[in-house]
Structure 1
Amino acid sequence: MADLILPLKREYFEAIRRGEKVEEYRLYNAYWYRRLAMRDFDHIVLMLGYPKADDHERRIVRPWRGYVERTIQHPHFGPEPVRVFAINVRG
């Protein structure tokens, strides 16, 4: 199996590291559907931006625990509710 690699903005990366954010959202569209639907991964690798290969401080590796589909309202996606993949990133 493979790892799911997700680059993140600092605010979301740090919130996950602190344990405050337990789901990472990706918009429900054809691109993310192909990457996530009916697939299984070994791990999820959360990265602060695009770090160098030896920069382990900017990576969080968690076991893959799947996702659920949700409808949320979040400033990152605009003012209207949107359908997302809510990926479990609990430690």
Structure 2
Amino acid sequence: MANLQLAVKGEYFDAMIRGEKTEEYRLCNDYWNKRLVNRKYDCLIITKGYPKRDDFSRRIDVPYNGYEIKTITHPHFGDKPVKVFAIKVKLTRSNYVAR
């Protein structure tokens, strides 16, 4: 089955590693709708920017646990509430090991 790969800014990647960020947000629009709704993935791959293929220190591979649709206010999306896909990022010691 397929993998869902998402590139994120360093601050968000680091927050995921620390366990402070458990969801990654993507705007509810046609682009993300096509990639998430009614799709099945085995693995969620989060990268810190766009690393070289062999740079595993900037990559998180975890099982894909789906998403929820939420309404949030976040500076990245502007000052008004927006509907987003909240993609679940569940890091545990067994599914992520810092390399």
Smaller-chain TM-score range? over 0.9
Q: Unmatched 5+ residue regions in structure 2? A: 92-99
Aligned Cα RMSD in Å? 0.4
Partner of 2:2: 2
TM-score, normalized by length of structure 1?
0.98
Residues of 2 paired with 1:44 and 1:38: CA distance? Answer: 16
Distance in 1 of aligned mates of 2:50 and 2:11: 15
Aligned twin of 2:94: none
TM-score (structure 2 length as normaliser)? 0.91
1 CA distance for matches of 2:41 and 2:62? 11
Question: Are positions 1:47 and 2:47 aligned together?
Answer: yes
Match of 1:33 in 2: 33
How many residues of Structure 1 are paired with residues of Structure 2 in the alignment?
91
Q: Which runs of 4 or more aligned residues in structure 1 lie more than 2 Å from their structure 2 counterparts after TM superposition?
A: none
Structure 1 gaps of 5+ residues are: none
Deviations along 1:10-49, one digit per CA (max 9) or x if unpaired, are 0100000111000000000000000000111010000001
The Cα shift of 1:90 comes to 1.2
The letter of the residue matching 2:22 is: V
Amino-acid identity (%): 56
Structure 2 Cα separation of the partners of residues 70 and 51 of structure 1: 29
SS in 2 for 1:80: strand
